[in-house]
Amino acid sequence: AKLPKKFEKNRFNENICERNAPLQHHNQVLVEPLLFLNEYWTVMGDERRALAYSKAAATIKCLPFTVTTLTELDDLKGLGSGHCLKVIQETLERGHCQEVIVKRDSMKFQSLKILSSVYGIGPSLALKLHSNHGVSSVQDILKLWNQLALADERIKVGVTYYADLSTPVSCTLAKKIKGIVEYELSIIKDDFRIEIAGGFRRGKKNGHDVDILITYTTDGEEKGILSSLMKHLNHKGYILHWRLEKSSFDEEAVFTRSPDQISVMDHFEKSFCVFKCPLQGNEIPETERTIRIDVNEPFPSQEQRNWRAIRVDLIMVPKSQWAYALLGWTGSKLFMRMLRHYSNAHLQKTLNSHGLWDKRENKLIPAESEEDVFKNLGLSYKDPSHRNF
Ligand code: GTP
Ligand code: MN
Ligand code: MN
């Protein structure tokens, strides 16, 4: 008979990038309060504290057994300050954590959570709206719309389609969006590759948006395609809103100017869109859910609605950067952060969505596939489904 493999604490501690973070793990009860506190501090605008809880949650997710006593976590790296351990201990002993219950009921948190979930509103604007204007809900934004004079076009879109955009996107709808993009691309030019990245690629059943990467067989061929694609999609009536970002890639700037800065933003040409996704009968949302604001554009009456608004990111990638871009846009955010930190600190190399830069040799290390990237990092290949840190 096969004996259960012994948990090797030292190996677990050695290199956190070698850990596996599956969606289904052994410690849901413990991870929940930690993820809540990550959300709480993100919403409250304290990223540093939020990150500590996110890392602790990720460590617990990777454990190959169910934790029953605190001693099982002795000498385990990645659980952060004593406070995370306190939350874990209380949850183990009482089944819940009092701090979480109190924070969850906080009016300020609840308001900021709603406000910062509106497309175009981040934690700092949410705080400003709440503190300076007493705004606590999407309805409040509507009431004070003229007075607030929010200049960012995205907020109008975010409020108009709030109900749709705050409803999780299913895998089926993500594939439908991919199909639409694929078809329109095929009209423009052959020989492209298109892939859904983000949470869906990591096996999640739902997402807040659809992240789609596009490339062509040789470098340079991708130029101008995204603008054409947007024209086609608009012409067919698939687009409610979009913002095109030009490529700002420059090898020198991206890799050598601030090599120690752990930067998340990349320089690909991309389009941040809100799609008008056609729906089949059973996918049509209930009526009253879409909030309307007084905009000039005509808005179809609820009865006619056989579509829903979906956030879609389209990213155009030069072929030679595909492997790194796919890895970067598959995430998770925390996993990419860990990889960037690891390659910087242990390999003297800068990793981002464009490539891997050897700081000692001053050159880029090419990769054809994600497997190559892991090899270049001296790590074993990790399936996307195990990157849910
Ligand atoms: P949900 O969409 O909420 O289901 O989760 P997700 O993991 O797909 O998150 P998100 O769509 O925000 O991002 C997907 C991945 O792309 C993440 O791992 C991010 O690290 C990465 N990402 C998102 N925005 C950017 C960006 O502007 N630049 C780069 N380089 N990466 C990004
Ligand atoms: Mn996503
Ligand atoms: Mn996204």
pLDDT digits (tens, 9 = 90+) for 138-156: 999 999 999 999 999 999 9
Q: Which of 4-13, 39-48, 110-119, 166-175 has the lowest mean pLDDT?
A: 4-13
Among protein residues, the one whose CA lies closest to atom 11 of ligand 1: 198
pLDDT at residue 156 in the model: 95
Is 70 exceeded by the pLDDT of residue 95? yes
Q: What is the pTM of this model?
A: 0.93
Ligand 1 pocket, residue 332 CB under 6 Å: yes
pLDDT in tens, 32-53: 999 999 999 999 999 999 999 9
Is 60 exceeded by the pLDDT of residue 296? no
283 confidence band (pLDDT: 50, 70, 90): confident
Ligand 1 pocket, residue 209 CB under 6 Å: yes
Average pLDDT estimate for 159-168 = 94
pLDDT in tens, 303-351: 567 899 999 999 999 999 999 999 999 999 999 999 999 999 999 999 9
373 confidence band (pLDDT: 50, 70, 90): very high
pLDDT at residue 262 in the model: 47
Average pLDDT estimate for 99-121 = 98
Ligand 1 pocket, residue 207 CB under 6 Å: yes
Q: How far apart are CA 105 and CA 99, in angstroms?
A: 10
Is 50 exceeded by the pLDDT of residue 202? yes
Q: What are the strands of the beta sheet with 269-278, ordered from one edge?
A: 192-196, 210-216, 307-316, 269-278, 239-245
The residue among 65 and 256 whose pLDDT is bigger is 65
pLDDT at residue 157 in the model: 95
Average pLDDT estimate for 276-287 = 78
pLDDT in tens, 229-247: 999 999 999 999 999 999 9
6 confidence band (pLDDT: 50, 70, 90): confident
Give the Å distance between the CA of 332 and the centre of ligand 3: 11
Asked if 363 and 256 count as a contact pair (C-beta separation under 8 A), the reply is no
Q: Both tokens of residue 365?
A: 């290390």
pLDDT at residue 288 in the model: 45
Q: How far apart are CA 21 and CA 317, in angstroms?
A: 27
- DSSP per-residue string spanning 93-141: HHSS-HHHHHHHH-HHHHHHHHHHTSTT--HHHHHHHHHHH---SHHHH
Average pLDDT estimate for 369-381 = 98
DSSP state of 358: E
Ligand 1 pocket, residue 208 CB under 6 Å: yes
Asked if 185 and 177 count as a contact pair (C-beta separation under 8 A), the reply is no
Ligand nearest to the CA of 198: 1
Give the Å distance between the CA of 313 and the centre of ligand 1: 9
Q: What share of the chain in percent tops pLDDT 90? A: 85
pLDDT in tens, 115-141: 999 999 999 999 999 999 999 999 999
Q: Which of 215-219, 229-233, 284-288, 384-388 has the lowest mean pLDDT?
A: 284-288
Q: Which of 135-144, 166-175, 279-288 has the lowest mean pLDDT?
A: 279-288
Q: What share of the chain in percent tops pLDDT 70? A: 91
Between vectors from CA 111 to CA 109 and to CA 112, what angle results, nearest 5°? 65
Average pLDDT estimate for 56-65 = 97
The radius of gyration of the chain's CA atoms, rounded to the nearest angstrom, is 23
- Greatest Cα pair distance in the chain: 72
The residue among 208 and 285 whose pLDDT is bigger is 208
Q: How far apart are CA 115 and CA 43, in angstroms?
A: 9
222 confidence band (pLDDT: 50, 70, 90): very high
> 140 vs 5, 34, 146, 148, 157, CA distance in Å?
56, 31, 11, 10, 16
Mutation test of ligand 1: which of 38, 200, 329, 385 has the most ligand atoms closer than 8 Å to its C-beta? 329
Give the Å distance between the CA of 330 and the centre of ligand 2: 8
pLDDT in tens, 61-77: 999 999 999 999 999 99
Ligand 1 pocket, residue 200 CB under 6 Å: no
Average pLDDT estimate for 87-114 = 97
pLDDT at residue 191 in the model: 95
Q: Which residues, other chains included, contact 374 with Cβ-Cβ below 8 Å and sequence gap of 6+?
A: 380, 381, 382
Q: Is the dihedral of CA 103, 107, 108, 114 positive or negative?
A: positive
Give the Å distance between the CA of 176 and the centre of ligand 1: 20
pLDDT at residue 299 in the model: 56
Q: Which residues, other chains included, contact 276 with Cβ-Cβ below 8 Å and sequence gap of 6+?
A: 237, 238, 239, 240, 307, 308, 309
Give the Å distance between the CA of 200 and the centre of ligand 2: 7
